[in-house]
Structure formats: C-alpha cells, structure tokens
Amino acid sequence: MTIEDWRNEINTLDEELLRLLNRRARLASKIGESKMASGLSLCDHTREREVIERMCAANEGPLDDRAIVELFRAVIHESRRIQSRNAESPREQSIELDIARDHLRVAFQGAPGAFSEEAAVKLLGEQITLIPRPTFESLFQAIDDQAADCILAPIENSVAGFVHPSFDQLLDSKLFILGEVIIQVGQCLIGCPGSSFEMIRTAESHPVALEQCRRFLAANPQIKKVVAEDTAGSVARVLAGADLTRAAIAGKRASAKYGGVILREHLEDSSENYTRFFLLSPHERFAENSDQVSLVIELPHQPGALHSALEPFARRGIDLLKIEGRPVKGRPWEYCFYLELRGSANDSLVIETLDELRHGRVETRILGSYRSIS
C-alpha cells in the first residue's frame, strides 16, 4: 500500500470517529437533561474517573495511557460543555429580579473586558448596564453607593480554589445570593503590537490568574510575574505603557477590548479551569426551584463544636457540598464556616436542621437558596 492509500483509510476512520463522537455527545446530552430534571449535578467526577480507568484497561496500544487519559478527558469535557450549554437558558430565566434587565445595573470587579464582565453577560444578557469597580472592596460597596442594583462576585476557581478577597467580603456583607454562573477561563499572554514572546520580561495579572498559570511561569523563569488588581486592567496598563517587554495575563475578551496581541494561548495549568460567580443583591429571594443553599455558621471556641454542628446534617441525610473555614474578624482564633448543601431553604429537613443549630447556640445565617448550575 502507498502513503495515499493509508491516508484514504485514515480519512474513512476519521469520518467514523466523528459519527461516533457525535452519537456519544447526543447520549451525554440526554443524560444531562435527565440530571437536570432530577436536580442532580452535571459534574460527576466518580463516573468520569471510571470511564478513563476503563478505557486505559481496555487499551491495546500503540497509544499509551497518557494519550488515552488526555483524549477521553477532552471528550468528557466537551460533553459536559454541551450539557451546560443546554442548561443555561432555563436556569438563567429562573432568577427573579424586581427591575427589568434592560435597566439593571450590575457591578463587577475589574476593568471592562474582565472575566467577571463576561460572566455577567452570560448570566443576564447583553441588555444590562455593566459597572466596573477597581477593587473587591469597592465592588461590595457599589450598592450602598447607589452605583449598582446588584453585583457579580467571583467566589472560587476550579484550579486556585476560593477567591478569598471576594469570599471574605461576601461573609462580611449583608448581601444575598440570587444565582450563580460558571465560565471556562482561558488565560493568554497579551503584549503590545510589535512585541514577541521572546521579548517579554514581565507578566502582570490578578493573583488568582497567576496561580492558574504556575507551570507556564515556572517553565519561563525569564518572565517575572507582577501582581495586579485585575486581569483586564493589566492589559489596559500594558497597552497604555507601550513597553514591548511587558505583557499581561488575561482572556481574549480583554485583548480584543484594548487592542492587544496574543503571544501565547492556554497558559492555564488545567484545561478544566472554571470560575464560579455569585449574583448578589441586598434583597433576600429564595428561588422556588432552588436546589442549593449557602449559609454561614459561627461556632463557640470549644472542643467538638464543628462535629456537633455538622452531625445534624448527617443524621438527616443532607448532602454537604462544601465547607470552608475563615477567621472571625476581631476575635482571634475563632472561625466561621461557610457551608453549601444540596436542597432548598424551604425543605422541611433543612429547616429542622437549622432550627436545631440555633437552639444549640450556633449562629446561623442563610446567604441564599438558589438554582445551581454546577
């Protein structure tokens, strides 16, 4: 056989692979619809691990296990992206607001072009009025300043963890969670027109973005990282300075906004790089179709306090999704704990549990009861 014969055979196999991949995606979409109807999370890491392990065990080569892992991670990622896309429209519509969206002022942290701006548009549409705020402190002050009706705040990243400057502001505020949105984050090295990768000596960005790109920065020690307030603002400063040795780490939206040049793409350590945002309002609203509750508890400083606080959830079979401890300001060595649980603030079991905690002198505050999209 000739090279052309082998290429023709590969073309035939590629067409069959494409047909099978699309068939798999359609089945994954049906599973996603079933999960949404049952109030289940679209993300099932146990199932994903089982798929990859089964494929590695069945692999006969010449592809090695690393190749199988990467290939099926990509397939699973694209399937979940389709599921999330199908889920977006109805869940976005479930957020009830007192004001028409074409008059809604939404504040976000960062400069225009930031990932937070992208998340706000994804959640609420292009018709909203976007209000950039330079810091997390000013973001959470935006409603009191009458500059915004609600704010969109980043809470956690799938690679770097909780965004603590924003998270702590939420715990200290009197705002309530109306809903959430998750976006995939792709980090780029953005320079000035005329610059090249070889010329870059500094890269500035938000600390969370820098944390997401540790491998890239470690592999390029000639590039010094510079911590800044936000990603898009870093791009704006780099472009304004016109220094060909300076670059920023941010998204494509920011590069397009300020006329930057993308020198490298996909700097993030993991392709599964997502940031989760909360839509926050001064008005408490528990969504009728909520399936997730966020709350904060403050515990007495005594042995077994955390165990005693969590036991009522376990006794009633309530699924705790997250727990995060943070210091209580002004009270050294005392902590509050942020909890996320599966359910609704109107569920009888949740109500009974919170009542039991309060009777046990555990300070409890519900931050929100909303529809999850994770």
Active-site positions read: 275, 277
- Cα–Cα distance between 65 and 77 in angstroms, integer? 18
3-state secondary structure of 322: strand
> Nearest CA to 122 among 150, 84, 74?
84
3-state secondary structure of 329: coil
DSSP 8-state secondary structure symbol assigned to residue 201? -
- The sign of the dihedral angle between the CA atoms of 100, 122, 96, 368 is negative
- Computed over its alpha carbons, how large is the radius of gyration of the chain? 23
Helix (H) or strand (E) holding 133: strand 129-133
Q: Pull the structure tokens for residue 11.
A: 């073309």
HSE-CB of 171 using CA atoms within 13 angstroms: 24
- Taking every pair of Cα atoms in the chain, the longest distance, rounded to a whole number of angstroms, is 81
Assign residue 264 a region (left: φ > 0; alpha: ψ between -120 and 50; beta: otherwise). beta
Report residue 211: phi and psi, to 5°.
-65, -35
3-state secondary structure of 328: coil
CA 107 to chain centre: 18
